[in-house]
Amino acid sequence: MDAVLLLGPLYHLIEITDRAAALAEAFRVLRPGGVLFAAGISRFASTYDGIRSGYVVDRYFDSLVEGVLVDGVHRNLDLVAHPQFFTLAYFHRPQELRKELMAAGFGSVDLVAIEGPGSFQHGLDLADGAQRQAVLRAIERVEREPSLLGASSHLMGIGIR
């Protein structure tokens, strides 16, 4: 394959051995020079979502966030009672996602923020070409900055076989 998209499996595979198997299979089917695009959820996504939505005042939600920060596992095991909160999932620290891709054999790994500084824009008309270009220039300057990657709720790991 020229490219493999893993846009969900890594955060629905709780165990590192399962994520490693998915990444190994992606590596196997890629031709030399092929590209992997692997999405991950940031360890801090629930915190951001809780503040934005007001869920931080909910005791059950607060316990979900605390658990994620400890071991990366978001444990909403009662979707019937709490359907508004994300399901059982694994949330990566940026360096963990990079490490998992490299362990699978991807020698060249890049990480970018999916919701980076562009998610903070307010009032700009992105249909306006000049405004859109200004936002894109600003994003490009910081989208790969390691110290900012965890500030995005989602990450994209890009690996080259």
- Quote the tokens at residue 141: 């300057």
Q: Domain tally for the chain?
A: 1
Looking up residue 62, the CATH number of its domain turns out to be 3.40.50.150
Domain that holds residue 76: 3-160
Is the whole model's pTM more than 0.95, yes or no?
no
Question: CA dihedral in degrees (84, 87, 89, 93; nearest 10)?
Answer: 0
Q: What is the pLDDT of residues 103-151, one digit of tens each?
A: 999 988 999 988 877 677 778 888 999 998 998 898 888 888 888 888 8
pLDDT of residue 102 exceeding 90: yes
- The pLDDT > 70 percentage for the chain reads 99
- Average pLDDT value for residue range 37-62: 93
Give residues with Cβ within 8 angstroms of 58, minimum separation 6: none
Per-residue burial over 42-66, b if 16 or more Cβ lie within 10 Å, else e, is bbbbbbbbbeeeebeebeebeebbe
pLDDT digits (tens, 9 = 90+) for 71-91: 999 999 888 889 999 999 999
The closest of 30, 72, 51, 66 to 160, measured between CA atoms, is 30
